[in-house]
Chains A and B, each alone.
Chain A
Amino acid sequence: MAEPAPSPNTSGIQQEPVTITEHAVLYGEYRLLSMDAPLTAPHVLGGQFIHFDIPTRADRLLRRPFSVYKTEGSTLSILYKPVGRGTRAMVELKPGDQTSILGPLGRGFPLHPVDHPMLVAGGYGMAALYMVAESLNTTGTIFMGGRSSEDILCVDEFEKIGWNVEIATVDGSRGTQGFVTDLMDPWLEERGYTGKQKTKEPTFYACGPNPMLKAMWQRALDSDTTAWLSMDRHMGCGIGACLVCVQKVKDPTATPEEWRWSRVCSEGPVYESREIVWEAHE
């Protein structure tokens, strides 16, 4: 089956000065950061990202990449959790602060019509999928996973636009106990999306931590199903020059030994499972 390429980056990349308009705790440690970005916001496609200059970063230099969660008019929003020195410095940002973004960057998820879309999100990976849910031709199911209930974000937002939400948490504090893939497997089989009784062809769109993406990748290959994965790699420049964020990829029909490096920032971050070559330790 010929696969369409991820959405091309047709809108021009630019560096835009932005003003922070909202900064709020969303759930637990997760925060919503909104900014006025009239040149960038209208052009973002689902799964694309921005490279954010952290003005409160002290001796840090590099921008940080964030999936765009939502755009509304000239407002662009991201979700983040303070985990490293860069994101911890972001906590100090307040409305009115000025900085700049590069964007829209990368090739997002393909948005051609499909019959049965299934979104798979781990933690803030959900942020990359909301615009996909908004843009696809039909609604479907989003599987959300996290360590605990605090990692399950924006359920209402997805339900509001007609998506069925299925939840799994490792500690069982919300939804089914276990990994999101543990929840998915029986759910999909019971409804005829996988297994011997398969009658429907699902298409997966996944964003989350690498172990989740790898589990998704394995299922997609085993069942010969299309699964688009948004890869997360440490990034430098964001536009393909520094060669830091490289991911091993191959042609869909090639063997893993025939890998080459692909720049996640500019050739990705979204790849189809058959293209991905994992490192042995991942």
Chain B
Amino acid sequence: MSNPPSLDMQVQIGSLTMKNPVTVASGTFGYGPEYAQLVDINALGAIVVKGICMNETVGNQTPRSVETASGMINAIGLPGPGVEGFVKKYIPFLNEHSVPVIVNIWGKTLEEYGEVAKRLSEIDGVDGLELNVSCPNVKSGGNAFGTNPEMLAKVVSIARANTDLPIIPKLAPNIPDVGLFARICEEQGADAVSLINSVPAMAIDIETRKPVLANTFGGLTGPAIHPIAVKQVYEASQAISIPVIGMGGIQCADDAVEFMIAGATAVAVGTATFYNPNTFFEVLAGIESYMTKHGFTSVKDLTGSLIN
């Protein structure tokens, strides 16, 4: 899939150059090898791997997920190999590929965000850090940091102090003023923000009258949340001058273009990959078709092109 020579698809996230604006949402693409069985991961603008904290974590009990109308609720609970496990197990694989690697990181404490950021900065093959401050499915860390402005400022600040890599806080949907939260990230030195994370949600088994998920609550993803995400992306991008990476329910290029018109510099495909592993190819090709049809030569010109 080569770009028509007349189209400039390149976008910039801090010091990270993406050859096109399409990436994947953390937690929906494993660490790389899983989907590399099926698709050419080098075609992505960047890959965002599943959340990593300092030590190995096991995640939540099962059931961890349930399908709902036009979406799914998950409460995986951030299982992961820890920083050293990730470096040992996946960095060699990722270094065999040309695709830039953004590592999603989280911590149980403020300090842990700093430690993980510092350690990953020493690793050849890590090109950016997404700060997970909005996972609804872990008790400590996660959403507790992302829904409190003071805590968010501290997380971004400590990460900034510990790395020169581009840092991208991932914002929660369940905050009253996304512009305020985005501005805090910018003030504390973030290179971009990404949003939205999954929307806190719940499903009940009416036969047993018990929660479906072992964790009771989970995060809703998929096309059901797309319009919510478009609004949040629009508001965030209005409030800041750093790039926004838009995500939430992208199924096709139209959804991605909508995010870019709303103000996103780049977009991430999430849940749709689960049922159609080719989604990101289709999204990329579709953005190019849209640009050609509507006379855009640079994808950057799409960003924030909303006509009010």
Contacts and interface: CB of A to CB of B under 8 A. Distances in A.
A241 B34 contact: yes
Contacts of B71: 61
**Contact-residue size bin, chain B (C-beta under 8 Å from the other chain):** 35 or more
B58 A244 contact: no
Interface in A241-267: 241-244, 246, 260-261, 266
Contact of B79 (A102, A241, A261, A279): A261
A179 B36 CA distance: 43
B23 interface: no
A243 B67 contact: no
Give the interface centre of A102, A237, A238, A240 by most chain B CB atoms within 10 Å: A237
Chain B contact surface mostly? loop
A90 to B, nearest CB: 15
Interface stretch (A10-18, A154-162, A183-191): A10-18
Contact of A234 (B38, B65, B79): B65
Interface in B250-304: 271-278
A239 B34 contact: yes
Interface string B29-63: 11000110110000000000010000000110111
Contacts of A246: 59, 62, 64
A209 interface: no
A52 to B, nearest CB: 10
**Contact-residue size bin, chain A (C-beta under 8 Å from the other chain):** 20 to 34
Given A61-B272, A62-B72, A63-B274, 17 more contacts: A61-B71, A61-B223, A61-B275, A102-B277, A239-B37, A241-B34, A242-B74, A242-B76, A243-B50, A243-B76, A244-B76, A246-B59, A246-B62, A260-B58, A261-B79, A266-B34, A279-B62
Interface string A261-280: 10000100000000000010
A261 B58 contact: yes
Chain A contact surface mostly? loop
Interface in A1-25: 12-15
A60 B67 CA distance: 7
A42 interface: no
Nearest to B35: A241
A62 B275 contact: yes
A152 B120 CA distance: 56
